[in-house]
C-alpha cells in the first residue's frame, strides 16, 4: 500500500543530446547575461577553452582551478576573478568538483549558473552544496544552489576513462539506491531511481567494453540525470554517511569510495527495506540486489576494497565510531559491531553480508 508522502519538484531546465554544448551561448543569452565566466578543473582546461570560444562575445574569462570538495579558498579566488572581469553568470564544465564551484560562486553572487557535466556524479540537478574550510566539510541545501540550466552533451563524456566512468556511474547508482529507501522518498522519485539504476546496469558494462559506445554513454548520462534528481529530492542514509566519513577522514577518492561501499550498505539495509531492495534487484535483473551490485562492480574492474584506494587498516574502528556518532537517518538502526563488520568487509573487498 502507498505510504503517505510529500512531493516537491525542483525547477530545472535540461538540454540533453550529442553536440548540444553549442547551445550554451543561447542559454546564457536566455539568462539575460553577456559576461559569463567559464569554470573547470585543471584537467578540463581544453574543454573550457573550447566552451569559451563557443560562447563568443558572451564569455569574459576562464577559471580552471576547481578542486574536489569545493575548498572555500578556491571559491574566493574565483569570486575575485568574477569581480575583476565584471562577470554576470557562470558556466561550469566538468565533474561534481567543478559544478560544486559553480554552485558556490552562484550562491555568493546571485548570478545564474549553467552546468555542463562531464561525469555521472549528478550534482548539476541538486540544490546541495558541500564545501570545505581547513579540511572540515559542511553541506547545505537551498533552492538558490540548484543550477538554472544543465546541458547533457554525451560527447563530453567520451574522454572519461572506463574505470572512472564505472566508478562515477556506481556513485550515481548509490543516490538511486538510497532514494528508494529514503525517509522522505515518494513514488515519483522511486520511478526515477529504478529507471536510473536500469539505465546504468545496461550502460556501464558497455562503456567498459567500448568507451566510445555512444548509446551506452547516452544511457549512462540519462541514468546520471535520473539518479541526480533522486539525490536532489531525498535525504541520503547510511551509504552516504559512510562515504562522507571515509572521504573526510582518509581523503579517499569520491567515486571509488561510493562504488566500494554501495553493495555493503545495501546488504546492511536488506532486512529493513525489502521493497526498495526488490526494486534494485528488478532494475539490475538479478536475484539478490547486494550481490548483484557487487558482481556488477567486479565485472567493471573498479577497485572492490578500501585498502586498494588508500584506507589505512587501523581506520576501520575510527570510521565506524564516526559513522555512529552523528548518524544520518537509516532504515535499519545502526550498531557499532555491525558497522565495523561492514567496513571490515569493504576494507578487504569481501562479498557483502546482511
Binding site for ligand NAD (CB under 6 A): 41, 43-44, 68-69, 94-98, 100, 118-119, 121-123, 126, 128-130, 156-157, 159-160, 164, 168, 171, 231, 254-255
- The minimum distance between CB 353 and ligand NAD, in angstroms, equals 27
Whether residue 229 contacts residue 125, with contact meaning beta carbons closer than 8 Å, is answered with yes
- The minimum distance between CB 223 and ligand NAD, in angstroms, equals 14
- The minimum distance between CB 79 and ligand NAD, in angstroms, equals 19
Nearer to ligand NAD, 43 or 318 (CB): 43
Nearer to ligand NAD, 41 or 331 (CB): 41
Nearest-angstrom CA–CA distance, 90 and 172: 24
- The minimum distance between CB 246 and ligand NAD, in angstroms, equals 12
Whether residue 36 contacts residue 92, with contact meaning beta carbons closer than 8 Å, is answered with no
Backbone torsions φ then ψ of 62, nearest 5 degrees: -130, 135
Nearer to ligand NAD, 58 or 258 (CB): 258
3-state secondary structure of 136: strand
Q: How many CB atoms lie under 10 A from the CB of residue 310?
A: 15
- The minimum distance between CB 252 and ligand NAD, in angstroms, equals 11
Nearer to ligand NAD, 250 or 353 (CB): 250
- The minimum distance between CB 8 and ligand NAD, in angstroms, equals 16
Instruction: Calculate the dihedral angle through the C-alpha atoms of 317, 322, 327, 331, rounding to the nearest 10 degrees.
Output: -20
Nearest-angstrom CA–CA distance, 226 and 186: 14
Nearest-angstrom CA–CA distance, 346 and 131: 26
Report H helices in 210-288.
Answer: 214-233, 238-250, 254-269, 274-284
Nearer to ligand NAD, 33 or 265 (CB): 265
Nearer to ligand NAD, 89 or 97 (CB): 97
Amino acid at each position: 500500500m502507498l505510504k503517505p508522502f510529500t512531493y516537491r519538484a525542483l525547477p530545472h531546465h535540461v538540454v540533453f543530446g550529442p553536440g548540444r554544448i553549442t547551445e550554451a551561448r543561447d542559454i546564457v543569452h536566455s539568462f539575460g547575461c553577456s559576461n559569463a565566466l567559464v569554470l573547470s578543473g585543471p584537467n578540463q582546461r581544453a574543454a573550457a577553452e573550447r566552451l569559451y570560444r563557443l560562447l563568443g562575445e558572451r564569455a569574459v574569462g576562464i577559471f580552471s582551478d576547481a578542486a574536489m570538495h569545493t575548498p572555500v579558498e578556491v571559491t574566493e579566488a574565483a569570486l575575485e576573478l568574477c569581480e575583476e572581469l565584471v562577470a554576470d553568470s557562470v558556466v561550469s564544465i566538468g565533474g561534481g568538483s567543478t559544478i560544486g564551484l559553480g554552485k558556490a560562486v552562484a550562491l555568493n553572487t546571485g548570478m545564474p549558473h549553467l552546468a555542463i557535466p562531464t561525469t555521472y556524479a549528478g550534482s548539476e540537478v541538486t540544490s546541495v552544496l558541500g564545501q570545505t574550510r581547513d579540511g572540515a566539510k559542511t553541506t547545505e541545501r537551498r533552492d538558490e544552489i540548484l543550477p538554472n540550466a544543465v546541458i547533457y552533451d554525451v560527447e563530453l563524456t567520451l574522454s572519461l576513462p572506463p574505470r572512472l566512468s564505472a566508478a562515477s556511474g556506481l556513485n550515481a547508482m548509490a543516490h538511486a539506491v538510497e532514494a528508494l529507501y529514503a525517509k522522505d522518498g515518494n513514488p515519483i522519485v522511486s520511478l526515477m531511481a529504478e529507471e536510473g539504476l536500469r539505465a546504468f546496469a545496461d550502460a556501464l558494462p558497455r562503456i567498459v567494453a567500448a568507451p566510445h559506445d555512444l548509446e551506452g554513454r547516452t544511457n549512462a548520462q540519462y541514468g546520471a540525470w535520473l539518479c541526480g534528481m533522486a539525490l536532489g529530492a531525498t535525504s541520503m542514509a547510511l551509504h552516504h554517511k559512510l562515504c562522507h566519513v571515509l572521504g573526510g577522514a582518509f581523503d579517499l577518492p569520491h567515486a571509488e569510495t561510493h562504488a566500494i561501499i554501495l553493495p555493503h550498505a545495501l546488504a546492511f539495509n536488506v532486512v529493513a527495506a525489502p521493497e526498495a531492495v526488490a526494486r534494485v534487484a528488478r532494475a539490475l535483473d538479478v536475484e539478490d540486489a547486494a550481490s548483484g551490485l557487487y558482481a556488477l562492480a567486479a565485472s567493471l574492474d573498479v577497485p572492490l576494497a578500501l585498502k586498494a584506494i588508500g584506507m589505512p587498516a587501523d581506520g576501520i574502528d575510527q570510521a565506524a565510531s564516526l559513522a555512529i556518532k552523528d548518524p544520518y537517518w537509516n532504515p535499519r538502526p545502526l550498531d557499532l559491531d555491525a558497522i565495523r563488520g561492514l567496513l571490515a568487509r569493504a576494507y578487504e573487498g569481501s562479498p557483502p553480508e546482511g
